[in-house]
Structure 1
Amino acid sequence: MAALANTYMTTQAVGNREELSDVVSRITPEDTPIYSFIEKGKCVSIHPEWETDELAAPGENIKSEGDEYAFGAITPPERLGNYTQIMRKDWIISGTQEVVSEAGNVQKRKYQKLKKGIEIRKDVEYAIVDTNASVAGATREFGSLNTWIETNVSRGAGGANGGFDNATGLTVAPTDGEQRAFTKSILDSVMQAGYQSGANFRHVSVSPYVKSVFVTFMSDSNVAPFRYAVSQGGERNTIVATADYYEGPFGTVMIHPNRVQAATAATARNAFFLDTDMLEFLWLRKIQEDKDVAKTGDADKGVIIGEGTLKVKNEKGLGVAADLFGLSEAG
């Protein structure tokens, strides 16, 4: 039934107060699995270097009685390096906006400083799982994890490994192969290669979709039936359709869904097998506010900046299952 004539309504009122909550809900995830797992260190140059070495392959060692010594040549260790990458976030807020009353204070300096710092940390994670080779010069870029691994690899048809190039001192980006579905066979093959190389894989970082494919391995005929402890006294029935660990012939790994790897189709197509002892992130300049930004007008300027690089101590301690369908069953 319609309102009576001359009923004064909210649509006519001009003095009603607005209601805007002071709580600002931020749903964007902040987790950075690989960066969080690995050790953090410090470097003092834009091009930190390190060396790797390995034992000779085992073989027959049979000598004759009274044999004269013969001395073999020493194989020098391999010298590796990566370049630091500068990452920056900034903002500018008018002097008036900085002092007016505002719901949630999300457009204030303190909030922006916190927010931009978290964003840079996520950018570090993205740079780690990206597919870019290292770049020297003024606009430097550190070689991503994918550009280092060349030993413990499973790739689709037509793909080619990257790796560190001693001649240039830079890493080389791998070549994409034909995409395929993630399977238990691929998982086992990378873990076997890693075991034979001396790796001690503990974690596998994958896109959320690949994690959902991993869960289906429970139905494989060669996998032990899943057992679930009922903690509700039999009063509730629970459908169990998840698994986090894989215990195979060559070790046990935890499968981590990584939201950052789902950022693009290029980053989602790789599953990284990690021995976290073989990785370190070196900071030349830790993430911090640049307090020397000049004030040139009636505005508050802010810059959060950091500079660092990924140290891959020995790529044989890492692995990758590449060219996977990473976002859906078709790509």
Structure 2
Amino acid sequence: MTPEAILADLVACADLPGAPNARVAECVQAHLARAGAACAVLPGPEGDRVNLFATLGPREVPGYVLSGHMDVVPVEGQVWASDPFRLRADGGRLYGRGTTDMKGYLACMLAMVPEFLAMDLRRPIHLAFSYDEEIGCRGVGHMIARLPELCAPPLACIVGEPTDMQPVLSHKGKQALELVIEGRAAHSSQPDQGVNAIYPAAELLLFIRDLAAGLAAEGPFDARFSPPCSTVVAGVVQGGAAVNIIPDRCTVQMEVRSVPGQPPQAIGAQVLARLAELQGVRVSHRELSSYPALPPPEDRALAGLLERLTGKPALQSVSYGTEAGLFHAAGVPSIICGPGSISRAHRPDEFVTVAELAECCRVLRGLGQVAAG
């Protein structure tokens, strides 16, 4: 089948992060089976979501992992020109949720299976399909943990997030936290009878502001990123029910994005320490999402390979995060390269072009030829 036809099937599976993903997983499995490829189904600890892993070629020698996530972001609150979960072709563009982020890459992976199988591969090509990437790369770690039983240590991983098929070498790490402050409610005419949770939250917000300023002034710095320092931002504050009630609860959602070499948790820990110091209130927190940075490679072999296959120079870094950082942390050299533009991701009328899919298949075909030796 063509990547366009496969993409239509994938787009019709509106499986969102944080929810069961049986439809899209079964769709991927069906396309693999149709092409004659076996697939390992790897349930996650949630019990209603799975990762998928297929090997083409000899399992016992090191090979290449092509990796992409099956989940897509919601469409609520967006105005689309057509049904976002039904692929629409118009003038060489293919519209639908997830077309560029990143079911276009998945469709190319699946479309190339018959060609890969016909190449008599000396080194395997592994196809990795993950869940819950859009809410903090939560699923892929469970698959990575099982790689030793699935295959020989991989030579490299290509994560196909949309990069206009330009290889990307690195990105920052991230941690998102929700901080909860609980006081005691009372009538606003008797504030001394309550404990206002918003006031200590305000102290915490000022601490986050000052921490961000310190990072901007003192670093550490890495000029390969923009901005060149780690950042910390409070993005959501919620507290209070009515103006005449002393608020007994306030929550703050914040995120850290850190340069390689500075784990995001090290910055988040400073905020958590300040949270614990707040007086007269109960405090708690939970991690919303987290993934490590993808540091620039010390060995340019993988970058050189992708530059030759794509015909494009590698881009040093991007501002968004991917699952590549997790593969790297597990000892698998990783790079980001996929069809479509990140500027179209998560937006109404998201699209990928037929030409972009063809280019991706051309690059994957070249990788197969390398693996065939």
TM-score of the superposed pair, with normalisation by structure 2:
0.24
The structure whose Rg is larger is: 1
TM-score of the superposed pair, with normalisation by structure 1:
0.26
